[in-house]
């Protein structure tokens, strides 16, 4: 069955998927962590209570989480075109990927930070710790294992999102499976792409779990 597989195409698509997921994971963390921090510290009774800001950030996050990913891709075609110059290819696909995953990760970050016992935050405040130091030296380090395991979950989600983005011209394994596998009646190609996607998910999960275990001192 696999003798009809175009290996050059497979490797190229795998590279595109890794590229898309890699770039969007980095930016997802870059946007998701500050958003998650904001959601927590601006909440009522927390270290920087800003009820208006909290509600606004919450609403934006909820909006992006509510729109189905495939619709988000279509919505964001113009944005990708404006930022990247094209709405096709793996680089353009990172725009909806980040827009879809960052709010998702922000909620995970929020949960992770809220799990830190309030007493620890209060102890830090009682020792004269500034707000910035509470975030830098208490919230983030204490939540690091949860942030890493959350990023692993997000990364796995991004892999499946990337396969969908592929179908609308983003490239990568999803695109290859659909166009050169499904539409070309090449079952070998279709299954090979699927197997590689699954393998990628396993690999990411395994690495993520290993890092989380090392970081967790509880």
Partner 1 sequence: MIQLKEIEKIYPSRKGTTSVSALTGVDLDIKAGEIFGIIGRSGAGKSTLLRLINGLETPTSGEVWVDGKEMSLLSEKELRHARTKIGIIFQHFNLLWSRTVWENVAFSLEVAGKSKAEIQGKVNELLERVGLSDRAHAYPSQLSGGQKQRVGIARALANNPTVLLCDEATSALDPETTASILQLLRDIHRDMGITMVLITHEMSVVRSICQRVAVMDDGYIIEEGKVSDVFNHPTHPATRQFVRQTEMEEDVQGVGKAITNKALGTVVRVWFRDLPSTWKQLGEESEAKGVHVHVLAGSTKPSEAWTFDLEGSGEGVAGVLDLLRETAVKTEVVTVV
CA distance 156 to 10: 20
User: Considering only residues 137, 198, 199, 202, which one is a binding residue for partner 1 as defined by CB under 8 A?
Assistant: 137
Long-range contacts of 134-137 (CB under 8 A, 24+ apart): 134/47, 135/37, 135/41
If one asks whether residue 129 binds partner 1 (CB under 8 A), the answer comes out as yes
CA distance 88 to 170: 6
Here the tokens at position 139 are 């919230």
- Measuring CA to CA, which residue among 64, 76, 75 is closest to residue 102? 64
User: Considering only residues 1, 11, 49, 122, which one is a binding residue for partner 1 as defined by CB under 8 A?
Assistant: 122
The nearest distance, CB 85 to partner 1, in angstroms, is 43
User: Considering only residues 141, 206, 213, 214, which one is a binding residue for partner 1 as defined by CB under 8 A?
Assistant: 141
9 or 211: CB nearest partner 1:
211
* Per-residue DSSP letter, 179: I
Instruction: Write out the binding residues for partner 1, residues 39-98 only, by CB under 8 A.
Output: none
Here the tokens at position 113 are 């930070």
If one asks whether residue 117 binds partner 1 (CB under 8 A), the answer comes out as yes
If one asks whether residue 142 binds partner 1 (CB under 8 A), the answer comes out as yes
Binding residues vs partner 1 (CB under 8 A): 117, 119-120, 122-130, 133, 137-138, 141-142, 144, 215, 217-218
């Amino acid at each position: 069955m696999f003798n009809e597989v175009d290996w050059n195409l497979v490797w190229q698509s795998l590279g595109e998927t890794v590229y898309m997921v890699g770039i969007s994971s980095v930016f997802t963390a870059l946007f998701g962590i500050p958003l998650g921090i904001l959601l927590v510290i601006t909440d009522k009774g927390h270290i920087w209570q800003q009820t208006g800001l909290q509600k606004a950030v919450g609403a934006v996050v909820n909006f992006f989480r509510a729109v189905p990913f495939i619709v988000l891709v279509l919505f964001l075609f113009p944005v990708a075109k404006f930022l990247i110059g094209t709405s096709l290819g793996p680089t353009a696909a990172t725009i909806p990927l980040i827009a879809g995953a960052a709010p998702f990760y922000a909620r995970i970050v929020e949960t992770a930070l809220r799990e830190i016992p309030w007493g620890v935050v209060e102890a830090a405040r009682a020792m004269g710790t500034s707000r910035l130091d509470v975030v830098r030296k208490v919230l983030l380090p204490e939540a690091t294992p949860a942030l890493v395991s959350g990023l692993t979950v997000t990364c796995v989600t991004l892999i499946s999102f990337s396969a969908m983005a592929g179908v609308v011209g983003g490239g990568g394994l999803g695109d290859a499976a659909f166009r050169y596998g499904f539409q070309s009646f090449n079952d070998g190609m279709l299954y090979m792409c699927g197997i590689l996607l699954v393998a990628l998910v396993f690999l990411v999960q395994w690495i993520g779990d290993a890092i989380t275990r090392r970081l967790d001192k509880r």
